[in-house]
Amino acid sequence: MSEASNEQERQAAATEAAQNVVDDVTAWNYSGDREIVESALEDGLAAAGVDVSEGEKERIVEEIGELKQDETRGVPDVRTAEPGDAAE
């Protein structure tokens, strides 16, 4: 397997893991205040061993918060995530 292919698979797996976290946070916390949503998202991503950029995290938190006004919006999609730093 090529190094590029392996990296793509790792990134795809990280994005899937992050999406699972977002699905759970949305299901359990979307009606909570912003701090609760942010904390649950950060804790879940850390537990899953994945990282998303600050901009991506901000967008996800905003979209989860918008569900309070319109529950038909659905769960935010994770656009990209990276495997977490093993040293952390």
DSSP 65: H
Rounded (10°) angle between helices 34-48 and 3-29: 140
The model's pTM is 0.89
- Decide: helix, strand or coil at residue 56: helix
Could you read off the pLDDT tens digit of each residue along the chain, which spans 88 residues? 687 889 899 999 999 999 999 999 999 998 899 999 999 999 999 999 999 999 999 999 999 999 988 989 999 999 999 999 743 4
Q: Identify the pLDDT of residue 1.
A: 60
- DSSP letter string, 4-41: HHHHHHHHHHHHHHHHHHHHHHHHHHTTS-HHHHHHHH
Q: Identify the pLDDT of residue 3.
A: 79
